[in-house]
Amino acid sequence: MNRVTHFEIPAEDKAASREFYTRVFDWDIVDFPVQMDGGLGTYTVATTVATDPATQVPVEPGAINGAIKERRGEVTAPVIFVTVSSVDEHLKRVVEAGGRVVEERREVTGLGHYAYVADPAGNIFGLWQDIPAEQGEVR
């Protein structure tokens, strides 16, 4: 079964959002450098539950962490991510089931691939695929 593993909260002012979620929920929010789409960027990670230091996977079963991300395009509301075995395969499944692709598959170097899709009702969610450990990558 594919499970919800991550969330993103879009924001126009990431600093204000960081302050809000830290003050209200005591989340640990830090900027994390990532290599995406051929360039270096920053991903603002929101840690809501303790993680294993080696894998960054939550130590509580079923718990998830997330991020605060710049609001852009159609992604204007909070998004949940479902981890799947193949983003490409699930993009096909989404379309076959009456949904649509909002943003095609992209890579986060050394970590995995993701895409944004919408269900038939227009709800946007993310697909995430870890890069297999046997490829010598982090995950």
* Domains located in the chain, CATH noted: 3-135 (3.10.180.10)
* Predicted pLDDT of residue 40: 84
Q: Model confidence at 113, in pLDDT bands (50, 70, 90)?
A: very high
β-partners of residue 122 are none
Q: What is the pLDDT of residues 122-132, one digit of tens each?
A: 999 999 999 87
pTM comes to: 0.87
Q: Where in the chain does DSSP place strands (E)?
A: 3-11, 28-36, 39-47, 65-70, 79-83, 100-108, 112-118, 124-130
How far is residue 20's CA from residue 24's CA, in Å, rounded to a whole number?
6
| 59-78 mean pLDDT | 93
Tokens representing 135? 């490829």
Q: Model confidence at 138, in pLDDT bands (50, 70, 90)?
A: very low
How far is residue 101's CA from residue 94's CA, in Å, rounded to a whole number?
8
How far is residue 12's CA from residue 2's CA, in Å, rounded to a whole number?
30
Q: What is the pLDDT of residues 37-62, one digit of tens each?
A: 778 888 999 999 999 888 778 999 89
Is 50 in contact with 57 (CB distance < 8 Å)? no
Query: Which residue stretches of 4-85 are H helix?
Result: 14-25
